[in-house]
Structure 1
Amino acid sequence: MSDEPAAKRMKSIDEFPNLRADVADAVKEKLIELDTIQHQLDIMSEKAAEEILRVEQTFNKKRVPIYEKRKALTTKIDNFWQTAFLNHHLLSTAIPEEQEDLLSALRDLEVQEFDDLRSGFKIIMTFDKNDYFENDVITKSYHLQSETPSTEITEIQWKDNKKPTLPDDDAASITFLEWLSYAAPPDSDEIAEVIKDDLFINPLQYYVMPDMQEVDEDDIEGFLNEERGLDEVPLMFRHRMDYTFYRKDVVCDDQIFSVQKRGIEQLMSHFGMIGTLGQVFLPHVEMEVLSVVPVIDEGTVRFRWRVKYVSFLRLLTNPRLLRFDYRVKNLSWFDGYSVLTVDGNGDVYKVTLQKMQQDEQKSLLVSTTEKLKEKLAKAAPAAANT
């Protein structure tokens, strides 16, 4: 009996029942060889997946002391987690105004993945005294690898008349308060997924994020339909944007990747490279425009956009993402901001790409550090008076 692993065993012709009868024997032999090579690649992919998991487990342990340093700082900032939650474009929809005071009592939030990353994780929330329950700590544990994935929750000691009534039919519409005691199946708990894969990873970006002035689609359509001189409306805004609206000497200032490109050919090559890398390294990636703001006086059009994706690591650690209906509801995302500057002829001569969010009040992009300084400066007088 051969010592060769089963995955590398060469198939016989009989094991290809779907081959057309007229396929030449020489082609069949090549297909058998290709099948063997494909098995070798599959084995390599499995080994790579295991290696990625081992590396992630190693770095999870290394992140622990860093998370502790972050915790020591965030617990000293009043309403840090409340602000981060309320600034989050998805989580904020689960927090009605009358429940915002509960989040002000959220002193700390922690996500701990199990040693076997594929087996699950838990969310640990530490609360100050509040009007809703007696618990200091509430933990939600998500077990993913059992035959029946399940959720375990700390028994909550509700104060009088504060225990929420859970909805019977639409778990997707529950509020944060209801979510605390709702043991939703792990594969349908969108709030937990967002906390684990986005908010906890980088809460600072949401704490310092200014409110965006979203533009209603009807407002955009009304703007486009208004009669105005050709010199008032950039050509690329009145028509579907494509490369014909860029000048040949266009400059691209990509502050996300810290590169500058000059000329239409370099611009097209740069955008093409980004798109290709996304398709190669991300099993699922898509992009959507969140808002479009024309600034006629400045001759610019500003886009807020979002790239939604699933990484291979998430796919490996959460097999549920293989299901399209589940995956599209649990995508990670990356928000960016683009400013297209046009000349008097309506041609784009400069493109600026920014990861930062736009502060519409000031009409400029402010760095995370500067926004944090502003918030701390406002908080300082209050702290001095306490």
Structure 2
Amino acid sequence: MAPTTAEQVSEEHRGLAALLAQPGTWSWAYVDVSGDREDPQHLAALQVRAARDQLMAQGAPSADVEVIERELGEAPGVPAPVARFVLARDGELVVSEVLPGHMHGPESVGYGAVPDLVPLLAHRPLDVPFLVVEVGREGGGYRAYRLGHAEPSGQQEEEYVEGRTDTLHKFQGGGWAHLRWQHHTEEIWRENEAQVVEAVEQAVDRLRPRLVVVAGDIRARQLFIDQLSTATRPLVSEVPVDTRAPDASENALVEHVEIALARVVAQRRHDVEDLLRTHVGRGDREAVTGVGPVVSALQQAQASIVVVDPAAFEDRTVLALDAAPWIATAPEEALGTTVLGSVPAAVGITRAALVTDAEVVLVNAASVPSGAPVAALLRWHVGPDVPGAGPAAGATGRGEGPDRG
């Protein structure tokens, strides 16, 4: 079963939702800042200048432009390919993120009441905290990261444990002495790994990672994994080579982590798509597809998970509102709120999903029933279509919603 929505909507996304609910105008830029081509400094200068010119042409305040220009001009500090997303308001830097990997969609530079956060969500399709653990016979340690972040995820997110180092090398003699000293060495290794296990288990309890990558000496890995709790062991993905060996590939660990994270994201996407197909197939009214029905669900904060293909909307737009119900397809749906403007459907739907505490999952429309660009799993079911047969479709009376587990 897929994890619950409450587990999926991250604190980071809730922070973005709080920002989106505030009045004001925003300046943003999502651009490729890779420096792996000829004359990277010249290229970077051209990219910064192009973003600046676009912002000024759209009427962005000079203070915002200066902030974004400065951030884009900073070296990303990670290997190419890499993008950067910067968000500013009233001359203050709000978000500045280095996003490792290729661009996830077209460049986006703009100024307006509703910023385009789709690129940021594309690079961080899930809030996935994960640990990278490296162990050896003398001890080991871990580092904590989050998917899509270039840097470790905060303070006290890194720890190294140095264990006992006496008689770490197995005795090479024979007879009973050999067996006795070998047993003693194994016990030291086990004690060392037990200390690392304790540190990692504490990190798991505190950070709730979705993945624990274990690398290092093969025997140390075995001893470490054997001592993990039954709750932590299913999170483990073991690197099948000794990454600490002198002849080990520098990319082995990075490649393994990238593959493991891709599997986590793909599994979540598969779980959501499967759940969506199940509810649509049953006709149990616990899921809706298409722009109109999804907007209606968002207007009532009824959507639990919103599935979006940003590339499938073509030129479709929606109206962004300054307060609940946050989104509309026509002015008469504004319900006394102020219409901020017409925005691309993917931008408006994503904003409404975030401010109503719904999880956003980016998919390919081909995996959505009927090929719709957007669909939603609901917190409570909609009513029947037949008049007089029960609550009207989209009724706000909350009932027991479907199991999102």
Q: What range is the shorter-chain TM-score in?
A: under 0.3
User: TM-score, with normalisation over the residues of structure 2?
Assistant: 0.25
1 or 2, which has the higher helix percentage? 1
The structure, 1 or 2, with the larger RCO (C-alpha pairs under 8 Å, 6+ apart) is 2
User: TM-score, with normalisation over the residues of structure 1?
Assistant: 0.26
